[in-house]
C-alpha cells in the first residue's frame, strides 16, 4: 500500500501553463484551506485580497497549510500568482 501511495506522489500532475483560480487553484484551496479557514477561501475576491499573505505563508515560508502541500500544488499556486492571479 505504501508503494502505491508513494508512487503517486512521484508522478506530478500535468504541467498547466496558465493556471486559473476557478479551474486550478480553487480546488487546492478547498482541499487544503477550508477545513481551518472556512469557505471564504472559495471566493476569488477573498483570495485576491489576501494574495500577499498567501504568497508569504504558502510560497515563501511554506508555513501554510500545516503539514505542507505536494510540490505540484505549490508550483501551480506559485505560477498562478506570478502570472497575475487570474
For the stretch 28-69, pLDDT in tens is: 999 998 888 888 777 888 888 888 988 999 999 999 999 899
- Could you give the C-alpha distances from 20 to 8, 55, 83, in angstroms and in order? 24, 16, 9
Is the pTM above the cut of 0.95?
Answer: no
For the chain, give every domain's residue range.
19-82
Q: Which residue has the higher pLDDT, 10 or 65?
A: 65
pLDDT tops 50 at residue 6: no
Amino acid at each position: 500500500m505504501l508503494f502505491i501511495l508513494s508512487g503517486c506522489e512521484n508522478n506530478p500532475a500535468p504541467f498547466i501553463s496558465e493556471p486559473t483560480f476557478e479551474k486550478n487553484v480553487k480546488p487546492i484551496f478547498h482541499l487544503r484551506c477550508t477545513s481551518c479557514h472556512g469557505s471564504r477561501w472559495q471566493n476569488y475576491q477573498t483570495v485576491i485580497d489576501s494574495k500577499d499573505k498567501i504568497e508569504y505563508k504558502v510560497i515563501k515560508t511554506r508555513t501554510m497549510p500545516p503539514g505542507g502541500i505536494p510540490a505540484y500544488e505549490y508550483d501551480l499556486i506559485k505560477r498562478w500568482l506570478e502570472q497575475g492571479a487570474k
